[in-house]
Amino acid sequence: MNKILKILAVLWMLAGYISTAEAKINMFPKPRYIPALSIYDDNGNAYKLTEFNSDLLMAVVWSKSCGPCLKDLMHLGRFVRKTMGKGIEVILISPDNEWKSTAEKRAFLKRLGADNMVSYNDRKSNFRGGMAIAVTPTAILVNKNGEEVGQITGSIDWDDSDVVDYMLKLKKEISEKLEQSKAADQQN
């Protein structure tokens, strides 16, 4: 029976790889308020997306049972290395009940080459539910003001040079819009 369950689990994960549609990018016309939902580091400290201070924060919501998520993690590790020091911060958020221990999660991320990102826990899927995330992987895009400016759902080859260039241009556009908004507020 255990052998059958293992085979079914592998087939289910492979189905995720096979059925992966192209990523969908949804940039919002105006930045959105982010609910005060907590994510937790491995020591149990609570954080909110609004507390990060990156030009562009990509908060990637994923699950270890999601085939496309695992593929994304391999590419995200390389994406982070390519964009290091360029104003894009990537964090990972996964359900806390998937992990027996912090060591297990760290080893899992290391095997996928994604151990160069900070990983947070979503307790009881409160964060995912509160953000109304129906699909994993989902990258929540947050500007320097702590506002949600868009989402990318589905799997993407993050380390592809065209994707890296696009994300760097997107970061620049988001920063410029924020500066224009601040300038307009100061004039009023």
Tens of pLDDT along 56-72? 999 999 999 999 999 99
Superfamily of domain 20-187: Glutaredoxin (3.40.30.10)
Residue 120 has pLDDT above 90, yes or no: yes
pLDDT value at position 16?
A: 41
For 60, residues 6+ apart whose C-beta sits below 8 A from its C-beta are 72, 76, 90, 91, 92, 93, 137, 138, 139, 140
pLDDT value at position 14?
A: 42
- Cβ 101 vs Cβ 21: under 8 Å: no
Query: What's the mean pLDDT in 64-91?
Result: 95
Residue 168 has pLDDT above 90, yes or no: yes
For 10, residues 6+ apart whose C-beta sits below 8 A from its C-beta are none
- Note the pTM of the prediction, 2 decimals: 0.85
Per the listing, tokens 């990509």 go with: 58
- Give the confidence band of 3 by pLDDT, cuts at 50, 70, 90: low
In the chain, % helix, strand, coil (3-state, to 5) comes to: 45, 25, 30
- Cβ 17 vs Cβ 71: under 8 Å: yes
- The first and second tokens of residue 99, run together, are 């992990």
Query: What's the mean pLDDT in 152-156?
Result: 94
